[in-house]
Amino acid sequence: MRTAFVVTQVLVTLGLLVVHCKAQSKPETIVPQPNPQATLAKTPEEKSPGSSDFQERNPHYQLRPDDIFDVVFEFSPEFNQTITVQPDGYISLRGVGELQVKDMTIPQLTDALRKAYGAFLYEPAIEILLKNFEKPYFVAGGKVARPGKYDLRGDTTVSEAIALAGGFLDTAKHSQVVLFRRVSEGWAETRVLDMKKMLNTRNLGEDLHLRPGDMIFVPQNRLSKIERFLPFPRSGNVTMNPAQY
């Protein structure tokens, strides 16, 4: 009886050893671990709806309040209408209702109308014709000879815009000209330009092209700020009265 028990223990032990040896001899399967950096999708940088590129050329016109345009349906003339953009940026469309269109371009508006009227018209052919819209402009302020609002006619750079505004005053800080560009309601991008270096080196590679609504501000130089506190003029013949000292 005791001998049978010992034999049973030996057989069980041998069986466990065989299983262990097989497990050790089995090649280990390596499960690749995900790389946290590799799991991040490398997608092109997405820009916010309001963002813009300072070097962008010839952008599409964006709708503004009080703009007027015709909506022409090629095969459904009963929906033809003349639309005025309301002060809040909405328009009222026949058969559709209200639609927010502020800051839309004409291609974007056309797509939006096709989707809206596509709910009950089969592939509507729509054309948008601008009739009255805000004329492109830029604003020049600060230490320029003639600050104010100017029509933006054609392709105009910052240096050309400053020339249109009469050029720099003697008190201007040429090295820190600021360009403001509105990207959305309440938000604007800024770019500081060293016009002094640009003009001295005759390198206009960073002479940015203006977009409608841009504002150029030329700050006052430091010396002119303290000039009134000086006991003698900044230029011209300096006369001193020894009695003062």
Q: Which among 30-34, 35-39, 146-150, 227-231 has the top mean pLDDT?
A: 146-150
Q: What is the CATH number of the domain that holds 126?
A: 3.30.1950.10
Instruction: Give residue 87's pLDDT.
Output: 94
How buried is residue 103: exposed, middle or buried, by Cβ count under 10 Å (0-12/13-18/19+)?
A: middle
> Is residue 181, in this structure, part of any structural domain at all?
yes
> Is residue 186, in this structure, part of any structural domain at all?
yes
Rg (CA), the chain: 36
Instruction: Give residue 31's pLDDT.
Output: 45
Answer yes or no: do 150 and 209 share one domain.
yes
Answer yes or no: do 144 and 222 share one domain.
yes
Instruction: Give residue 50's pLDDT.
Output: 40
Answer yes or no: do 141 and 176 share one domain.
yes
* Single-letter amino acid, residue 227: E
> Is residue 200, in this structure, part of any structural domain at all?
yes
Range of the domain at 163: 137-227
> Is residue 76, in this structure, part of any structural domain at all?
yes
Answer yes or no: do 128 and 199 share one domain.
no
Task: Give yes or no for residue 53 having a pLDDT over 60.
Answer: no
Residue with tokens 């950096």: 37
Instruction: Give residue 54's pLDDT.
Output: 55
* Mean pLDDT on 132-148: 94
Gap between the Cα atoms of 140 and 245, Å rounded? 44
Answer yes or no: do 142 and 201 share one domain.
yes
Q: Which among 104-108, 184-188, 204-208, 236-240 has the top mean pLDDT?
A: 104-108
Supply the DSSP symbol for 189: E
| pTM, two decimal places | 0.57
* Mean pLDDT on 148-176: 94
Task: Give yes or no for residue 242 having a pLDDT over 70.
Answer: no
* Mean pLDDT on 96-123: 95
The better pLDDT of the pair 50, 141 is held by 141
Q: What is the CATH number of the domain that holds 163?
A: 3.10.560.10
Task: Identify which of 122, 123, 106, 109 has the alpha carbon closest to the alpha carbon of residue 61.
Answer: 106
Q: List, in sequence order, the alpha helices (H) in the chain.
A: 2-25, 36-39, 106-117, 158-164, 195-200, 222-226
Answer yes or no: do 110 and 188 share one domain.
no
Minimum mean pLDDT among 4-13, 66-75, 107-116: which range? 4-13
> Is residue 219, in this structure, part of any structural domain at all?
yes
Gap between the Cα atoms of 128 and 76, Å rounded? 14
**pLDDT tens-digit series, residues 63-75:** 999 999 999 999 9
Dihedrals phi, psi of 203, to nearest 5 degrees: -115, 105
Per-residue confidence at 183, pLDDT binned at 50, 70, 90?
Answer: confident
Answer with the one of 132, 155, 173 that is the final residue of a domain: 132
Percent of the chain, pLDDT > 90? 53
> Is residue 112, in this structure, part of any structural domain at all?
yes
> Is residue 141, in this structure, part of any structural domain at all?
yes
Per-residue confidence at 178, pLDDT binned at 50, 70, 90?
Answer: very high
The better pLDDT of the pair 45, 131 is held by 131
> Is residue 201, in this structure, part of any structural domain at all?
yes
Total domains in the chain come to 2
Dihedrals phi, psi of 4, to nearest 5 degrees: -65, -40
3-state SS, residue 32: coil
